[in-house]
Amino acid sequence: MAGIDSKDIRKIIVACDAGMGSSVMLASTLRKQLKETGVSVEHTPVNSIPDDADVVLCHAGLAARARAAAPGKVLVPFQIFLGDPAVTRLVNTIKNGGTVDA
């Protein structure tokens, strides 16, 4: 998948190793930031990414596992859980329009 238009994003999954802890914090932050957009944000273990995910956010160290678990989904890897530029770009693109690249 090359990317997804921001208007087609309905569900973001924050995936981590166990689906707890840091991913819960990031998912909560994203829910607040995207509250007015209608985009839902959930967290899950990387091996349990649901089929209805439009965008998957995960730590760069888990990107290969996320790609294997959710082939064809737009994957946005990041380095730090709070304040990462990749996450900021995703939020800004959803709010302002544009394409999120895989």
Told to judge if 58 belongs to the known catalytic residues of this protein, a careful annotator would answer no
The three-state DSSP-derived secondary structure of the chain is: CCEEEHHHCCEEEEEECCCCCHHHHHHHHHHHHCHHHCCEEEEEEHHHCCCCCCEEEEEHHHHHHHHHHCCCCEEEEECCCCCCHHHHHHHHHHHHCCEEEC
Q: What is the pLDDT of residue 81?
A: 82
11-20, 57-66, 68-77: range with lowest mean pLDDT: 11-20
Which of 9, 12, 13, 16 is labelled catalytic? 16
Q: What is the pLDDT of residues 24-53, one digit of tens each?
A: 899 999 999 999 999 999 999 999 999 999
- Report yes or no on whether pTM surpasses 0.75: yes
